Structure 1
Amino acid sequence: MNRREFCAGVSVAALMSGVARAQEAAPGPAPAPSPPDLYADGAPFSREALEEHARLLATRGFEAPRSLLPDGYAELPLDVFRTIRMLPDRAPWAAENRGFTLDLLPGGFIFRSPVRIATVDEGHVRMLPDDPSWFDYGKAPKPPADKPFPFSGFSARAPIDRPEEFRDFATFQGATIFRALARGQIFGTSARGLAIDTGEPNGEEFPLFRAFWIERPNPGAPSVVAHALLDSRRLTGAYRFTLRPGEITVVDVELTLFPREAVGHVGIGPMTSMFLFGPNDRAGVDDVRGQVHRADGLQIWNGAGEWVWRPLNNPGDLQISVFLDKNPRGFGLLQRQRGFAAYNDLGRRYDRMPSVWVEPIGDWGEGQFQLIEIPTDTDINENIVAYWRPKAGLEPGARVSMAYRMHWCWTPPDRPAGAIVYGTTTGSAGGRRRRFVVDFAGEAVADPARAAAIRPNVSTSAGKVIEPSGRPNPEIKGYRVTFDLDPAGEELCELRLVLEADGGPISETWLYRWTA
């Protein structure tokens, strides 16, 4: 029985009993309590208060953000948008010698949702006003001085390369997207706060970081802490990011989610990258560059202790690969190829883009890694997505907390004890046959005298592996495996290769999906 039927029933019963009094209107539902006001200047701030704010927000319906952009700013060309800069004297903490500053980012172009930004000083909020006077507008039209001009995010800056030079080492802008880099690197692979329904036929839901509260760091502190409020149609969340720049830039992520509705497909620790072509995938390529990608493989360290390397592809059709696991130890999108000559690109410098390694904190239980590869014909599309998907979805009214550590680095701190895959090359072997050359490097395969004892164990889910063989590769002090694949009329073959010696594996496991 719904509320209307209930009220009608009560009125009929009263008339039949002859009760001669006016009927009071049935009381409506009690209004949802208001979340703690964390946007008032001077308001107390804590992680607990932000979690309570997110929890109470989840009891209300989702309200899409209202654009505050001046007329024409949503259509700004990218080259014009990039000329808008925050005035240097407005940078928080710039004159305080605290080791960190912030660069506030303007709204405009594709960044149309306003983002509220505050600093936190001794536990109290200091709102940064969305004032047009914060920016130099370069080639963009100057907005009205009497109306708010929205932020779209921020960059954290530190002297990561040289003591006297502050530069961006982490950026949060657009939906829940953020990026970081290590000393000597440039931005490449991105991360997201959360993935919802990625690759589903009904379309993906994109949560937003609607506000940030950034703690004022103590002088000489090695890290800066940023809190964020996540909001989406089906859930809310409170996030805490601890950013430590350096030779490896570490980002600790602590999150607590509050579902408004059931969410069956959620991705934790999602990363997005780009793979256009490489030695394993050059079909139809006519390009002066040898390789074009921000990452060349997915690395997994599963709960059983096995290390897996899955080279990336730019497929002809959408491909989703699933790797079941329990309590994973780590995963990431890595850029293993570091030589400039491999890319031959002075503009993009893919050789200087970071690998991103995620280290789960605590037991994550049962679930699966998902790798999504999307066809693309340009290097501006992020066509690679990877994340951990818990087996159980999220139910309304629940409270779900997780944590992980991200390493933005040249080489992840966790590495296989045995040989790793140095490179994968494919080519025609005549007809429908494909030839594969897989090189391994590492101490386990560095001594040519041990090569006779090494056995390549190669298998396929369909078709047939023909004439697998291995030999030393003195050019990399490693070991090379060569074999042909005969698909035998199949359209998809899952390949597996591991080096064995003395009755056990001496390398990570190479996995590859071949499609016709």
Structure 2
Amino acid sequence: MRPPSSSPPRAALTRRQALAGIASAPIILAFGGDAVARTAKSQPFSWDWLKQEAATRVATAWRAPKSAPHAAAIDYDEVNRISFRTDHALWRGDGIRETRFFPLHRFANVPVAISRVENGRAVPVPFSPAMFDIAPDKQGRRFPMAEGFAGFRLMNPAGRGDWIAFQGASYFRSAGALDQYGLSARGLAIDTGIPGREEFPVFTRFWLEAGPGDSLTVYAYLDGPSVTGAFRFVNRQTKDGPVQDVSASIHLRRDVERLGLAPLTSMFWYGEGNRAAAIDWRPEIHDSDGLAIHTGSGERIWRPLDNPANPTTNTYLDQAPRGFGLLQRDRAFDHYQDDGAFYEKRPNLWVEPIGDWGAGAVMLYEIPTRREIEDNIVAFWTPAAPAKEGQHFDIAYRLHWSGVDPAPASLARAVDCWTGVAGRPGHDPTPGARRLVADFAGDNLAGLDRTSGVDAVVSVDNGTILATHAYPVVGMPSRWRLIVDVAQLDARPSDLRAYLKRGGDALSETLLYLLP
């Protein structure tokens, strides 16, 4: 099971165990106790200064950091015995800006520097063991703290849980509108999906500044073997959930074959479409169940996630995308039956580009998993132009951590997908063929029947369509069912594309499905 939202983010406790000790730059930290905190010297700070810092440091050689002493000995059980003392929080009791710090541990063992910005000057936040309490084990023993911070989190009013947390490599995440952690975001993805090549640059330094209203701005310096970068996150709460306005200035130290912008990371073990992967009693287990894309041409696309037998990369070409994200559409508790992890409450994460991102592709990388504690899904935008040494990228986007679907109400959504053998029920299956059953739901389908001129538009790669049926589901006036039988040509999956239309108008989003 996952740690609760009050525990350190899962970003450093599962698949990302490999990340914590990888790429980083030399860390500049001011350690010390309360006396140092009172006398810490401030330095001028601005967003322009940080961007210039990233531009200057790209010419310096990257050096891997050393992990903090004692961090490797603090495992999952021990880190959960460490609690931060709230009287050391920044902006204590100040709405949703109260900031608490994570201790170093085995899975996040490289310290990060954290400063508070006021009136254009940055004051380091010194580490002190007195900032944390350690509960004794059953034998009454305590372990030594590792010096430094692993990251930080922004608290809800009165300290009732946290709503945004940064910890591990360039990872960060939010509990979303439903107050339940799930998927994560990160600053940058480099060579994801290229065997043996993936690189995990690290946020090595943070600056925190109170903004207008209840907003809090996080500035971060990114460093790694291939890149330096300056990031700015303006974090605020809205009625639909937390929103982050992200600006990034990225510089390349060397050529990058696959540069991933606005990367999202999630977990999909199994759902109704791949029950064969289930070894657990729970009906479904996933943080997200699909990739949604709003293309530059206005098309809405839904691609259900998969837990493939082998690592799989899918590329969806586009020009000036309007948005993409990993969503948890299935919000029914009884579909998961998990009263501890509450998968039905996992947040959606939608990327809204600001400005014209030009030509490129949304890329989806899926790897096999047999455990729910391993993130196996990555989605990001990759520019069409090659990413070469010496290049500089400026990018801006908005992240929406919500419990609502960004698809417009005017189009029906694909809400359930099942797969099985093809052919008439009760008869022998059609040899070498598979069936996809997909349900679309939307108010625009209400009142339509078999005589209303609704058609299914279906195409397939690596297969031949044997039969297609589309009809309203009995007793559910806003729901239509699509059934497609496909004869597969070889052992590769068949890539289906389908949507409902009436006359020249689309009634639904476009469903993309990889039929195994």
Q: TM-score scaled to structure 2, two decimals?
A: 0.87
Stretches (4+) displaced over 4 A: 37-40, 139-145
Counterpart of 1:261 in structure 2 is: 254
TM-superposed CA distance for 1:86, in Å, is 1.2
The 5 Å alignment of 1:3-402 reads 41-70=41-70, 73-95=71-93, 97-139=94-136, 149-159=147-157, 164=158, 166-217=160-211, 221-246=213-238, 247-402=240-395
- Residues 216 and 113 from structure 1, CA distance in 2 versus in 1: closer, same or farther, beyond 3 angstroms? same
Aligned counterparts of 2:274 and 2:210: Cα–Cα separation in 1 = 47
Structure 1 residue 54 displacement after superposition: 1.4
Could you say which residue in structure 2 is the equivalent of 1:456? 456
Q: Tell me if the contact between 1:227 and 1:239 (Cα under 8 Å) persists in the aligned partners.
A: yes
* Structure 1 CA distance for aligned equivalents of residues 62 and 152 of structure 2: 24
- Counterpart contact for 2:176–2:348, Cα < 8 Å: no
Whole-Å Cα distance in 2 between the matches of residues 343 and 60 of structure 1?
Answer: 50
Displacement of 1:242 in angstroms is 0.7
Structure 2: tracts of 5 or more residues without a match? 1-25, 31-39, 423-428
**Structure 1 residues 476 and 274, CA, compared in 2 at 3 Å: closer, same or farther?**
farther
Q: Distance in 2 between matches of 1:75 and 1:257?
A: 35
1:237 maps to a residue whose letter is G
Query: Which amino acid in structure 2 is aligned with residue 208 of structure 1?
Result: V
Query: Aligned equivalents of 2:257 and 2:397: distance in 1?
Result: 21
- The one-letter code of the counterpart of 2:155 is R
The aligned residue for residue 472 of structure 2 is 472
Once residues 321 and 136 of structure 2 are traced to their aligned partners in structure 1, the CA distance between those partners, rounded to angstroms, is: 49
Conservation of the 8 A alpha-carbon contact between 1:357 and 1:408: yes
Deviation at 1:284, TM superposition (A): 4.5
Relative to structure 1, the CA distance from residue 414 to residue 496 in structure 2 (aligned partners, 3 Å threshold; closer, same or farther) is closer
| C-alpha deviation, 1:324, in angstroms | 0.7
Amino acid across the alignment from 1:223: S
CA drift of 1:51 comes to 1.1
Question: How far apart, CA to CA, are the structure 2 residues paired with 1:488 and 1:322?
Answer: 22
Q: Distance in 2 between matches of 1:111 and 1:181?
A: 20
- Matched position secondary structure for 1:136: strand
Unaligned runs of 5+ in 1: 1-34
Deviations 1:389-432 (A, max 9, x none): 01123333332110000100011445363111111111223243
Task: Note closer, same or farther for the CA distance 1:416–1:321 as it changes in structure 2 (3 Å cut).
Answer: farther
Distance 1:258 1:304 in 2: 30
Distance 1:451 1:437 in 2: 21
**Counterpart contact for 2:83–2:133, Cα < 8 Å:** yes
Query: Do the aligned residues in 1 keep the contact of 2:252 with 2:388 (CA within 8 Å)?
Result: yes
How many Å apart are 1:142 and its aligned residue?
5.3
Residue type of the partner of 1:422?
A: V
Q: Which amino acid aligns with 2:301?
A: V
Return the alpha-carbon distance in structure 1 between the equivalents of residues 271 and 488 of structure 2. 22
**Aligned-partner Cα distance in 1 for 2:295–2:107:** 37
Name the stretch that deviates more: 349-358 or 201-210: 201-210
CA change 1:310–1:138 in 2 (3 A) is: same
Secondary structure in structure 2 of the residue aligned to 1:245: strand
CA distance in 1, matches of 2:268, 2:95: 38
On the 8 A contact 1:270/1:388 being kept in 2, the answer is yes
Aligned 8 A contact 2:170 2:201 in 1: yes
Q: Which residue of 2 aligns with 1:19?
A: none
1:197-230 deviation line (CA, Å, top 9, x unaligned)? 0011232010000010000346xx1311000000
Q: Per-residue deviation at 1:450?
A: 6.9
Once residues 202 and 288 of structure 1 are traced to their aligned partners in structure 2, the CA distance between those partners, rounded to angstroms, is: 34
Query: What CA distance in whole angstroms lies between the structure 1 residues aligned with 2:257 and 2:296?
Result: 23
Which structure has the higher relative contact order (CA within 8 Å, separation 6+)? 2
What TM-score do the two structures reach when normalised by structure 1? 0.87
Identity of counterpart residues, as a percentage? 37
Change (3 A) 1:450 1:69: farther
- Counterpart code for 1:403: A
Deviation at 1:506, TM superposition (A): 1.5
Residue 262 of structure 2: SS of its match in structure 1? strand
Alpha-carbon contact 2:499-2:510 (below 8 Å) kept:
yes
Aligned-partner SS, 1:452: coil
**How far, CA to CA, are the matches of 1:412 and 1:250 in structure 2?**
15
Match of 1:508 in 2: 509
> Does the residue aligned with 1:448 lie in a helix, a strand or coil?
coil
Secondary structure of 2:52's match?
helix
- Going from structure 1 to structure 2, the CA distance change for 1:361 and 1:414 (only over 3 Å counts) comes to farther
Aligned residues: 469
Question: Quick one: which amino acid aligns to residue 200 of structure 1?
Answer: I
* Amino acid aligned to 2:151: G
Identify if the C-alpha distance between structure 1 residues 334 and 284 changes in structure 2 by more than 3 Å, giving closer, same or farther: closer
Question: Deviation string for 1:343-390 (max 9, x for gaps)?
Answer: 111111000000110000000111111101101111111001000001
For 1:226 and 1:448, locate their aligned partners in 2 and report how far apart those are by CA, in whole Å: 50
